[in-house]
Amino acid sequence: MEPKAAGMLYEGKAKIVYATDDPDLVLVFFKDDATAFDGKKRAEIPDKGRCNNLISACLFEVLEQAGVPTHFVDVAGPRQMVVRRLEMIPLEVVVRNVAAGSLVRRLGLEEGRELDPPVIELYYKNDALGDPMVNRHHVRALGAAEPGEIDEMERLALRVNQVLRPFLAERGLKLVDFKLEFGRAGGRIVLGDEISPDTCRFRDIETGEILDKDRFRRDLGGVIDAYREVLRRLVGDEALPGDDAR
């Protein structure tokens, strides 16, 4: 029997989290809202929430099968996911396979340069501060995570990269970079949040076409078409929206 929603716990920029009648589980609702540049740019993109929910579910299942612990339990509807309740760690772990975005601006690297080995960055999740990049010394000063926990998050992040890069490449998608969030549960570090075009940079391997949130950031248009294309490549034509998803 699926758990029933029992009151809102938290509303973020892209998701709403609800308590359930099971204290160990929560229900995540994926919104159609899109934001960029620390919330300065906003829009509603119909069907985005459904795409991100189903893309995340697919990728979480792939990772679970590869031995990566995630909070994913089940899909509860087109925009809803049941997940394990985590004590979230206020850090974002970013893995970069190709120079793009802020890395290019900060270091002057040529956009599109392959990074071997991948670059790992840590960011402190704090909207008021603009989610600044931090190092291990900052993390310790903030009391956000223990050194062993950082080691485990970085290890899992690299494992996620190792699993998803070939999986996506087989489907014509290049994983440029991505951000992950982790939490604590049962004495271990568990992958949480989502894995979607909102949190990853996906490019078509053959053409270089942008198939992620950069289309929204750069005003390129075709945002939802890109998200739907990623979903279609992951789960097939059955992912194409019906009347209830429009």
Collapsing DSSP to helix, strand or coil, 172 comes out as coil
**CA dist., res. 146 & res. 150, Å (int):** 6
Helical H segments across 94-197, by residue range: 102-107, 136-142, 147-169
Domain positions in the chain: 5-85+222-245, 88-204
Enter the tokens of residue 235.
């789960």
Close Cβ partners of 73 (under 8 Å, ≥ 6 residues apart): 25, 81, 82, 83, 84
Specify the length of the chain in residues: 246
Percent of the chain with pLDDT over 90: 89
Q: Which of 92, 79, 70, 58 is nearest to 16 (CA)?
A: 79
Per residue in 22-43, pLDDT (tens digit) is 999 999 999 999 998 877 789 9
Q: Is 3.30.470.20 the CATH classification of the domain at 88-204?
A: yes
CATH, domain range 5-85+222-245: 3.30.200.20
Mean pLDDT within 112-132: 96
Output the average pLDDT for the chain.
94
pLDDT in the model for residue 238: 74
